Amino acid sequence: MDQLLTAVIVVVGVPAVLVGYVVLAERLLGVFEERRRGRIRPWIWIAPAVLFLVVFLVYPTFNTIILSFQDKTGQAFVGLANYQYFFTNSDTLVSLRNTILWVVLMTGGVVGLGLIIAILVDRVRYEPIAKSVIFVPLAISFVAASIIWTFMYQFKAPGSTQTGTLNAALGVFGLGPEAFIPTAPFNNVFLIIVGIWMWTGFAMVILSAGLKGISTELLEAARVDGANEWQVFRGIIFPLLLPTVFVVGTTIVITALKSFDVIYTMTSGNFDTSVIAFQMYKEMFTVGHLGRASAVAIVLLVAIIPFMALNIRRFREQEAIR
């Protein structure tokens, strides 16, 4: 009954509030002179969005910064002790190393495979079908993908029937079962493969769109002049795709920095697989240290900001060209 009432409030109440705000905003504008309404109207319309940003983004960010300099309970000031802990504790250093590994391998794998697949499917008649199949993993959640790959990597003791797909395949060739997830440090690579599998479709679609924007006349002219396919790719296609590659790359870097779901679902941070985002969760909800969790969150934020700035700058440059 309570759930039904909540659903009714959401379905009826939210549109009612929106309509009420529109009516109130227009009546409020009527108070001002006609020549001033044009300048005031945009501010009235963006006021709710600005309010949401302040309440749910700006305030929490500044509050987290303050908490990062406080103790476990968030009451006593401890200076840089939480940051010192982050950069000296072995567990957090392992999570930092693994995060860098995610950024490098996932970004390189997604962009590289996405580019290769985009070029290949562009030359076949069943391009839409191929793209759809490759894009499907992105449509499922990280948790679902992690469960799928948990079964792929599943390991049982030698002599037992291997139900994991990869170990069953190894058994066909007479090779012993491998404990893919518990074995460090290569287990991080196997976790990153899950991320690559999911996001390659995204990179393929974006890069394929950029590829179709390259003039076919230009490519044909290069081939007529004697350039082989590798020379065409290196001298024409790749340079023209660089802005798109940059945007895709920065998007995947930000995604890799925020990696959490795969680690939480498949290993719970065990076997030296923890990353910064999981370390933040652990400090907050397992250890219960508000100050350290906030410090980890700020480190993650500082790591993400430069890539966000680069992305925004690239978008502005493209808009200026248009």
User: Tens place of pLDDT for every residue, the chain, 322 residues?
Assistant: 577 777 777 788 778 888 887 788 778 777 777 777 778 778 888 888 888 899 999 999 999 999 999 999 888 999 999 999 999 999 999 999 999 999 999 999 999 999 999 998 888 888 888 888 999 999 898 999 999 999 999 988 887 888 888 988 888 888 878 889 998 888 999 999 999 999 999 999 999 988 888 888 888 888 888 888 888 888 888 888 888 898 899 999 999 998 999 999 999 999 999 999 999 999 999 989 999 999 999 999 998 888 888 878 877 777 666 5
Task: Supply the pLDDT for residue 99.
Answer: 94
DSSP collapsed to 3 states, 200-266 = HHHHHHHHHHHHHCCCHHHHHHHHHCCCCHHHHHHHHHHHHHHHHHHHHHHHHHHHHHCCCHHHHHH
Architecture of domain 81-321: Orthogonal Bundle (1.10)
Task: Supply the pLDDT for residue 7.
Answer: 78
Task: Supply the pLDDT for residue 1.
Answer: 59
Distances (CA, A) of 247 to 29, 203, 290, 317: 41, 10, 35, 12
Task: Supply the pLDDT for residue 322.
Answer: 59
Distances (CA, A) of 18 to 4, 15, 22, 54: 21, 5, 6, 19
Domain ranges of the chain: 2-67, 81-321
Token pair recorded at residue 12: 């009826």
Q: What are phi and psi of 32, to 5 degrees?
A: -85, 160
pTM to 2 decimals?
0.86
Alpha-carbon distance of 255 to 269, in angstroms, equals 18
The CA-based dihedral angle spanning residues 164, 113, 197, 314, taken in that order and rounded to the nearest 10 degrees: 160
